[in-house]
Amino acid sequence: MFKNVFGSGFLVRTSHVILTWVITLILFLHDTELRKQEETGQLVQPVLFVLLVLLSVLLYFAVSLMDPGFILSDDTDLQFMLGVTEEQQDMIPPATKSLRQRRCGHCLLQQPMRSKHCQTCQHCVRRYDHHCPWIENCVGERNHRWFVFYLAFQLLVLLWGLRIAWTGFTYVPIWHQWLRTNGVLTAVTMLLALLSLIVLLLLGSHLYLVSLNTTTWEFMSRHRISYLKHCGADENPFDRGTFQNLWGFFCIWGTVVWEQVYFKEGSDQV
């Protein structure tokens, strides 16, 4: 389930952990409300904040080390075992049918629909979304929902840290003395604000794409994807409505045979 901890992403993951705990330490060392509550024995908020930071780090490792849905062997008969018959295949235009039964030019395995070969991971990934350099892993069928959960949780921690940092500034009338007193906290605040903005945009974009039942790869490279070339600009053969898309993404676990959804849409159009 998990990849080797000491793989190519070791440096990225180590840097992430070090940066997380350095920022947390700075928030405790400066005269923030976190430190004031700690000194007065009010430990509920400091302990809760540390636990949230710890959980965010654990969730980060879970997402970054999890198998995103690597295809390790051929499963050409899977779609037929789950109810996709030859009659249903015949209802789709021949060009589309042949493009679905394609083999990867790199790992030579047959790719299920919505999968893609990742050049960085050197594997084909089911329901490929993108390769994220932040986690040094692909985001795919198995870890996509956890990636969204991580973004939401990370945003909560960043915003709380930003609020804590804001309470630690000390008023000094002279500018250069103020900068000397609050320089480190200012840098931390700016970094937290930048990271909060990035995570907010990432979370918003992923929730938007999930609500449409499309992926980042499909959204950005629609014109190059074989099974979407024949669709109109606003047509998505996997869209089952916003509520059902969100329900399927967050609440239904296991492998989805996207050929089945695609065939159903195709049969409705015939």
Catalytic residues: 132
Q: Which residue has the tokens 């400091």?
A: 46
Q: Are 33 and 164 in contact (CB under 8 A)?
A: yes
Q: 3-state class of 74 per DSSP?
A: coil
Integer Cα distance of 28 and 25 in angstroms = 5
User: HSE of 106 in the Cβ direction (CA atoms, 13 Å)?
Assistant: 13
Are 63 and 147 a contacting pair, CB within 8 Å? yes
* H helix or E strand, kind and range, residue 190: helix 175-212
What are the structure tokens assigned to 196, written together? 């909060």
Question: What is the C-alpha separation between 256 and 215, in angstroms, rounded?
Answer: 14
**Measured distance CA(202)–CA(206) in Å, rounded:** 6
CB 118 within 8 A of CB 125: yes
